[in-house]
């Protein structure tokens, strides 16, 4: 993030220069008026800010997660890989007993009942505090997930998985009942080992079944995934098929596409979106004090405009809030973020009770407004226009 000093203090630095020139004259008072303008290139990437808002999902010990960019999707999209299980079936005398099967020709067995051969402990994946803290009244409906179950064994055709902890389907699903999905695996892996730090596909890889987990990502609610592998009744298998390892992978498809579902839809940006979120935006180290003039007291009003490389905020309204200071704009146009600090708010900025001025930014969208995050988002230019009306007394008292 560009430092405050490089955004605004550069402009304020013009003021001592003006004072120095006029201090060489002899009048007792000098009135300084004008509207100096300053524009400069400021190429600063904001792309990673949105990835940081997502954050890396947190998971149980023993569950490795990784978030990777989907480089061939038009807008920012990420894929999250989590390995839920990599090991052997839990086949013991207690579950695969003589009563559970009947021996048949060829050294094979036929299952008399459904038999559980793997019951994995709950695996948890969480999404921080959720995107609701940033996106209010937005629909985020395209976050899907899928599960891959792979084993190099013909037993894959004879088992069924029961999975709990995932959200209910949007519509009717015959494989969902009382919070449990029945999943019939196919011997397919995600191909994660070949992705090499990025995903080149344009859609989520196709696993055994798809689950919409948008609500969990928005709320930050934890996914507690619990699954069992069951040998199905009447299936005929070779017991040697159970000696090979099985891998269970969970994939999350995470596109940054949001739609406002209410006219009060609002995006709250992180505190350090503009500045560091703590220090004074004008670079002041202390509030205005009697007998000591602050640089901001020379300015009656000012207008700041930031040009982006993308019209991401077109049609939205910008809101700025810092203590007792509130600034709202009309609908933004094109690639520009601009706001005016009028005389009333300039006075509030100079009030010690409102120091420091470290504004928080939010954007209001109308219902139906889309917020689709591009891969490259950066500032291109900063423009500052300040209105100055100040009297300098050569006797040492400014007015």
Whether the predicted pLDDT of 348 surpasses 90: yes
Once rounded to an integer, what is the mean pLDDT over residues 2-23? 40
pLDDT, residue 287, reads 81
Beta carbons within 10 angstroms of residue 119's beta carbon: 13
The whole-number average pLDDT for the span 205-223 is 91
What does the pLDDT average to over 234-240? 94
Residue 90's pLDDT is what? 86
Backbone angles phi, psi at 206, to 5 degrees: -90, 115
Question: Peptide bond preceding 234: is omega within 30 degrees of 0, i.e. cis?
Answer: no
DSSP string, 199-241: B--SS----S-EEE-HHHHHHTPPEEEEEEEEEPTT-EE-GGG
DSSP 103-172: E-GGG-EEESS-EEEEEPPPEEEE-TT-GGGTEESEE----EEEEEEE-SSGGGGTEEEEEESSPPPSS-
Residue 25: per-residue pLDDT: 37
Place of tokens 């060829």: 106
Instruction: Determine the pLDDT at residue 292.
Output: 66
Point out the least confidently predicted range of 23-32, 35-44, 69-78: 23-32
CB 155 within 8 A of CB 271: no
Q: Using pLDDT thresholds of 50, 70 and 90, give the confidence band for residue 226.
A: very high
Task: Using the predicted structure, report yes or no on whether residue 147 has a pLDDT greater than 50.
Answer: yes
pLDDT tens digit sequence for 84-96: 999 999 887 778 8
Q: Give me the chain's average pLDDT, please.
A: 84
Measure the CA–CA gap between 274 and 285, rounded to whole angstroms: 18
pLDDT computed for residue 34 by the predictor: 65
pLDDT (0 to 100) of residue 31: 52
Helix (H) or strand (E) holding 341: strand 336-341
pLDDT at position 221: 87
**Peptide bond between residue 356 and the one before it cis (omega within 30 degrees of 0):** yes
**Do residues 84 and 248 make contact, with C-beta atoms less than 8 angstroms apart?**
yes
Place of tokens 């990502």: 217
Res 275: pLDDT: 63
The pLDDT of residue 388: 85
- Has residue 20 got a pLDDT over 60? no
> Which 8-state DSSP code applies to residue 194?
G
pLDDT band at 276, cuts 50/70/90?
A: low
Task: Tell me the whole-structure pTM to 2 decimals.
Answer: 0.81
Mean pLDDT across the stretch 258-262? 95
Average pLDDT for 44-51: 80
Place 395 in a pLDDT band, splitting at 50, 70 and 90.
Answer: low
- Cα 112 to chain center, whole Å? 50
Q: Can you tell me the mean pLDDT for 376-388?
A: 89
Burial class (CB in 10 A: 0-12, 13-18, 19+), 211: buried
What does the pLDDT look like over 110-142, one tens digit per residue?
Answer: 999 999 999 888 888 888 778 888 999 999 888
In angstroms, rounded to a whole number, what is the distance separating the alpha carbons of residues 302 and 343? 8
Q: Would you say residue 13 has pLDDT above 90?
A: no
What mean pLDDT is predicted for residues 167-173?
Answer: 91
């Amino acid at each position: 993030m560009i430092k405050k000093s490089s955004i605004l203090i550069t402009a304020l630095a013009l003021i001592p220069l003006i004072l120095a020139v006029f201090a060489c004259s002899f009048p007792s008072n000098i009135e300084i008026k004008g509207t100096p303008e300053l524009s400069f290139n400021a190429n600063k990437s904001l792309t990673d800010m949105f990835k940081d808002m997502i954050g890396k999902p947190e998971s149980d010990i023993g569950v490795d997660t990784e978030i990777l960019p989907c480089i061939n999707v038009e807008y920012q999209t990420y894929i999250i890989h989590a390995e839920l299980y990599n090991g052997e079936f839990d086949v013991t005398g207690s579950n695969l007993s003589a009563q559970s099967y009947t021996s048949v020709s060829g050294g094979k067995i036929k299952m008399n009942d459904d038999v559980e051969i793997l019951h994995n402990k709950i695996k948890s994946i969480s999404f921080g505090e959720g995107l609701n803290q940033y996106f209010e009244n937005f629909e985020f409906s395209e976050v899907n997930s899928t599960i891959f179950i792979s084993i190099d064994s013909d037993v894959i055709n004879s088992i069924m998985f029961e999975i709990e902890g995932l959200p209910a389907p949007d519509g009717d699903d015959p494989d969902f009942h009382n919070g449990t999905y029945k999943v019939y695996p196919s011997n397919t892996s995600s191909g994660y080992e070949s992705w090499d730090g990025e995903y080149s596909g344009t859609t989520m890889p196709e696993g055994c079944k798809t689950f919409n987990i948008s609500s969990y990502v928005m709320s930050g609610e934890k996914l507690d995934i619990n699954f069992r592998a069951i040998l199905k009744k009447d299936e005929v298998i070779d017991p040697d098929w159970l000696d090979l390892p099985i891998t269970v992978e969970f994939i999350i498809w995470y596109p940054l596409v949001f739609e406002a579902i209410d006219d009060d839809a609002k995006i709250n940006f992180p505190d350090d979106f503009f500045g560091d979120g703590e220090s004074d935006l004008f670079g002041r180290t202390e509030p205005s004090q009697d007998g000591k003039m602050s640089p901001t007291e020379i300015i009656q009003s000012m207008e700041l405009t930031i040009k982006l490389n993308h019209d991401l905020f077109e049609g939205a309204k910008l809101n700025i809030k810092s203590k007792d200071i509130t600034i709202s704009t009309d609908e933004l146009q094109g690639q520009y973020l601009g706001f005016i600090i009028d005389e009333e708010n300039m006075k509030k900025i100079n009030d010690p009770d409102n120091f420091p001025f470290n504004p928080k930014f939010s954007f209001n969208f109308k219902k139906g407004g889309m917020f689709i995050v591009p891969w490259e988002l950066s500032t291109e230019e900063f423009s500052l226009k300040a209105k100055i009306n100040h009297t300098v007394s050569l006797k040492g008292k400014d007015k």
